[in-house]
Chain A
């Protein structure tokens, strides 16, 4: 591929005083591809987003947007470069209508001077069309976003980011608060966004959600990159294993076994856990 990647990160590190939040992270996002960032709680995912979204600056390493090295000062900077972030719970204003949410902060206007007013018809029409492109038919764009389901609310934010010229879309844990079916809906929107040529960064702690949609996987654990793989370089099981950190899992099994002495039901849990670990461990060795 001769064209430079939409977004390239090389050896990005972030220190807060003496705390090392993130160290040596390298990955890339291409147009029309989904890069998944996986990690358990405290793995450094939030720090990672904040650097790309412009809320924090990296302490070390380089960030390239379309081949050009940049350092963002503010979220507005990142937005101007076409990097839009959809936060899970901050995405929309529930009591406002769909079209007002869609155009919030960038309302189309008509008229001049004191008669400058929001062009409701255009806004409503575009919002309806853009939502239709995501596969959602909003019959009444006047309905409050709060009446939509969790997945549809995320999709309003995703469609909005795409419409306003985002090239890279960062989705922060879009599925974490959703049920199985709603998660499926959001995954579908991720695919839709990818098919429209956006680069998507999908942040999650659920490898089952990441694997089917991802083209590239960055695994973080305790602030360290555990690797950056293309889809054909890794299997689902390896992904799960690396994400949780194999050594830790083994330790957890031992602890469970120790604690279960005399308790039958707990012993059963420990047994199953060990079994699963064995399978995963085997898969990892096969992968090497």
Chain B
């Protein structure tokens, strides 16, 4: 028996003890797109290591170009999926709108071409696409049939119409002649514009492209690290402004070292300026931390290797040594093929990387474990781990054949060692925050986001502009299509709409629990129909991009692509059942698909294997999503 009035009196507000504080990293890890982001990084590193082209501008251009049309659609499909529906006609829609616009401007007169100018044909095509989207949505809403069935019908209608009309008008399975339009040039600038990288040389402005790239990238990294510090550590009640000059001086030295590093040549100068830069960055970050965050007492006590810590250290070091031994003994020249993916060279790399990563992770775990009892042990073990990483960097440098391992990978390994060491030191010196702090959280988030944005701008500059030296060396031309720009813009706008507007809220709601949404006054039918129209509109955009690319469209363009859109959305963390997901995740999912499709031929493997690859990625993504969902929805 429940005595309600008595219970009401004890209802005094008290903090909910069941809610533990979640640090910034944990909060980041439950985002739906994080799995896709990690997956993209792993796949990128994999193909970067096994191919020559993948990491170059030409390679990036290649898979970003493929991901653009795929990505625009998967972003739209992800929105619809979050709203709880599918659109199987989305693939055929891209081809249908492309064909329709060609047929409308084609100048053969009579039946085969209407001869409209593009300014009439393009809006007419958009109206056609939106009408189909509206019809899809309305049918699904009025009949309450699964959208799977309704849009399967639309898919076959569009597919049949494409082939039928193409044959009827041209007797071929292709329609041609978009350039018949009198205003073709104007519209080609919008849908077919290209940016030839080789023609855009940036040699001396602001010290040259590479200086600007390096400075922006470093500044971005510093901002990101500062943001993470702000999110992680407890602020002092009174700022120690005495450390501010250390912070500012360190950062200035780091940037100066970087500029000198890019401006000078030769291995000796590289070493000097690289060291200057590292010392500066370390001093700068230490200065920031000492200025703002609360100190821990000086770590004391002897080195404690009790329990699993000692075992982890031994096994970890053993694994690293074994990895090095295997790497050095296997013949690096041999290309003997033992099976799929497994040349002797490949085996060597896999064994080396696998054992070494395993060992390093064990060492870091040991360090963390030791930190529970003795901060000093943590510091020593972290230092040991970074020394191991530095040693590995030198082994790689002396052993590897290609420049990318000897120079770039070497630098990345050194930077990793630096970060591992710095994190270890800071964690033993300053107090980690264990409670929410809105202003610190907000500032930390803005700093981190600013850092990531700067890094993106830096990479974009590097990808879009060439230098005279590069033009002399590189054989081919790199041509960026405007479709990549549309992809990025569309993903950004869609993400804004989903996360920040009422329509976005309603999208989540109709996908998560349509009846509840309707009950509180969300126009559920209108929201879903609008989502179908967004997908159709995206199909129109992609149709225009395809049509203006070649001025002709094949009848089978887009057929079957709808599954890749859905796969990209699922890989990006969107739930098939709706109500949860991210369009940024879907965009990353599209890039993952494009990277796998293009990376396999780059690596010189038979591209018959690529569906195996895509299937494995899909399964993995679904398993991860399932796990995340059970965490997020863990009910009572």
Contact = CB atoms under 8 A, between A and B. Distances in A.
Given A94-B635, A95-B512, A96-B508, A79 B8 contact: no
A118 B636 contact: no
Contacts of A187: 2, 4, 7
A139 interface: yes
B501 A190 contact: no
B516 interface: yes
Nearest to A109: B502
B488 interface: no
Given A93-B579, A96-B512, A100-B508, A188 B16 contact: no
A209 B7 CA distance: 13
A87 B519 contact: yes
A261 interface: no
A191 B502 CA distance: 33
Contacts of B11: 135, 188, 192
A20 interface: no
Contact of A139 (B5, B16, B516, B522): B16
Contacts of A139: 15-16, 19, 436
B632 A105 contact: no
Contacts of A160: 520
Interface string A185-198: 10110111001000
A91 B515 CA distance: 9
Contacts of B3: 212
B517 A105 contact: yes
Interface centre among A120, A147, A160, A192 (most CB of B within 10 A): A147
Contact of A105 (B7, B14, B522, B635): B522
Interface string B1-40: 1111101100111111001000000000000000000000
A79 B519 CA distance: 10
Main secondary structure of the interface of B (DSSP, over half): loop
Q: Output the residue of B2, B15, B501, B512 with the most chain A CB within 10 A.
A: B2
Contacts of A76: 521
A230 interface: no
Given A105-B522, A135-B13, A90 B513 contact: yes
B632 A91 contact: no
A132 interface: yes
Interface of B: 1-5, 7-8, 11-16, 19, 436, 496, 500-502, 504-506, 508-509, 512-513, 515-517, 519-522, 579-580, 632-636
Given A93-B517, A117-B501, A191 B4 contact: yes
Interface string A98-120: 00100111110100000011101
B634 to A, nearest CB: 6
B7 A104 contact: no
21 contacts: A92-B513, A94-B512, A94-B513, A94-B633, A95-B508, A95-B580, A104-B516, A105-B509, A105-B520, A118-B500, A120-B500, A135-B12, A137-B14, A139-B19, A143-B19, A180-B2, A182-B636, A187-B2, A188-B4, A191-B4, A212-B4
Nearest to B513: A93
A95 B82 CA distance: 11
A137 B13 contact: yes
A109 B463 CA distance: 39
Contacts of A87: 519
Given A94-B635, A150-B636, A100 B505 contact: yes
Contacts of A149: 636
Contact of B505 (A90, A104, A209): A104
Contacts of A183: 2
A180 B500 CA distance: 39
Interface core residue of A104, A120, A136, A143 (most chain B CB under 10 Å): A104
A46 interface: no
Interface residues of A, number: 53
A146 interface: yes
A93 B501 contact: no
Interface of A: 75-76, 79, 85, 87, 90-96, 100, 103-107, 109, 116-118, 120, 132, 135-140, 143-144, 146-150, 160, 180, 182-185, 187-188, 190-192, 195, 208-209, 212-213
A146 B501 contact: no
Contact of B8 (A105, A132, A188): A188
Contacts of B505: 96, 100, 103-104, 107, 118
B12 to A, nearest CB: 7
Contacts of B7: 184-185, 187-188
From A79, A94, A185, residue with most partner B Cβ within 10 Å: A94
Most-contacted residue by chain B among A105, A148, A149 (CB, 10 A): A105
A168 to B, nearest CB: 16
Given A94-B633, A95-B633, A208 B1 contact: yes
A138, A143, A187 — which one has the most chain B CB atoms within 10 A of its CB? A187
B15 A137 contact: yes
Given A104-B506, A212-B3, 10 more contacts: A76-B521, A90-B519, A94-B633, A95-B632, A139-B16, A139-B436, A144-B632, A144-B633, A192-B11, A212-B4
A143 B512 CA distance: 15
Contacts of A147: 632-635
B499 to A, nearest CB: 9
Contacts of B16: 137-139
A18 to B, nearest CB: 28
A117 B520 contact: no
Contacts of B509: 93, 96, 100, 104-105
A213 B632 contact: no
A22 B27 CA distance: 52
Nearest to A91: B516
A147 B512 CA distance: 14
Nearest to A192: B8
Given A184-B4, A187-B4, A104 B19 contact: no
Contacts of B508: 93, 95-96, 100
Given A95-B508, A139-B19, A140-B19, A104 B501 contact: no
B4 A190 contact: yes
Contact of B521 (A105, A209, A213): A105
Nearest to B510: A93
Contacts of B12: 135
Contacts of A195: 8
Task: Point out which of B8, B520, B633, B636 has the most chain A C-beta atoms below 10 A from its C-beta.
Answer: B520
A90 B634 contact: no
Nearest to A131: B13
Nearest to B27: A142
Nearest to A133: B13
List 7 A-B pairs, minimum CB-CB distance, nearest first.
Answer: A135-B11, A184-B2, A105-B521, A93-B512, A105-B520, A187-B4, A146-B633
A139 B15 CA distance: 7
